[in-house]
Structure 1
Amino acid sequence: MKNKLLLTIFITISVSQSYAYAQSLSYPCSIVLEPVHEIPNISGTALMTKVKKPYTDQPGSPVRERTGVGIYADWMPQPSAFGDYDQYEGFGQIPGVISWRFKMYPIKEDQPSWFGGSPWVGKFDEISAELSAETIVSLRLSNSRTNRLGPAVLQSTLKGCVE
C-alpha cells in the first residue's frame, strides 16, 4: 500500500512538472519581483518580450528572434548594506537547464527619495531557449571584483505569464 501511495505521489508530481513546462507563455509579459526577505519598501518588476535582432549591422540583414528580459527595481539599498557586494545583477534561470546573468545599473535621480533607496535597471536580450512557467527571474547581489554572485533580493517565476 505504501509503495502504491509513493508511486501515485511521484506520478502526480511528474505530470504536474511536465504540464508546467508544456504550457506556453504569453509575450510580452510582466511579473512583480517579490522580496525574498523582509526589506522595507523594495519592489521590482520584470518584462519578458520577444525581440527580432539582425545578425549584422548591415541593412537587409536577416533577423533572428530572441527573448529579452528587463528588470526595474526601486527603493534598493546600496548592495554593500548586505555585506561584501558592490552591485546588483539580473539573473534568469530555467532550473536544471541554463541560467543568464546581466549587470544592473543604478539610476541617478534628480530628486532622490527622502526615505532612501535608489532604482536599478538592466536587460538581457539574447535568450534563445524556450522559457517556461518554472523559469525564475531575480535581482541578486554581486561582487564585481571577485565575480561572486550573491543571494537573491527580489525574485519570482513566470507562472503569471502562462496563457
Structure 2
Amino acid sequence: MENIIKQTYGVLKPLINKVLFQNFDEPDFKEVKNVKLNTSFVNLINTKRTEENLKLSSIYLFECLTEAFSKFTEADRLSVVKILLHDIEFKSFVMFKFLLGYKNINPEVDLTADDIQDMILLYGKSSKMNAFVALYFDLFFEDIFNFKFSEPNTITEKEYQEILDQYLQAKTLV
C-alpha cells in the first residue's frame, strides 16, 4: 500500500521542482553541495507574510501548477484525481472555503460534495484546471514558502529530500 501511495504522490515531484527551480528537472547534487533556488521563489520566501504576499505566493504556485499539470499525461491526471478524492476532509473544507469566497460574488450558487467530485473528475478526463484542483494544491503546498533553508538562495540535498518527504505523501489539509 505504501508503494502505491508513493507512486501516486510521485506525480507531484515535477511540480515541486517547478516551484523550487523553475524547471521540472531534479537538481544534480553530485557536483555541488547547494543548488540555486529560483529567484521568484526566493523573493516570496524572504518577504514578510502579509495578505498581499500570500496572494503573490498563491499566484506563483498557480502558475507553476498550471504549467506542470498541462504537461501531465492521462495517467498523471488520474494520480492527481486519486490524491484529491482520497482526501475526504478536503471536500468539506473546500466547500466551506470556496462558498465563503464565492457566495460574496454569487449568492445563489448551490454547491454540493458531488459537484466538487464531478469537477475533480472533469480535470482527470479533460485536463482543464478548475478552482477545486487549484485550491487543493494551493493549500497542500502553502507551507513550502515557510521552509527554513540553511542558505538564503540555495538548497542542500538534505533539504530537498526533506521537502520531497513532506510533499510526496498524503497529508491532512484541515
Normalised to the residue count of structure 2, the TM-score between the two structures is 0.28
Structure with the largest fraction of helix: 2
Flag the structure with larger Rg.
Answer: 1
Normalised to the residue count of structure 1, the TM-score between the two structures is 0.29
Q: Greater relative contact order: 1 or 2 (C-alpha under 8 angstroms, separation 6 or more)?
A: 2
Structure with the largest fraction of strand: 1
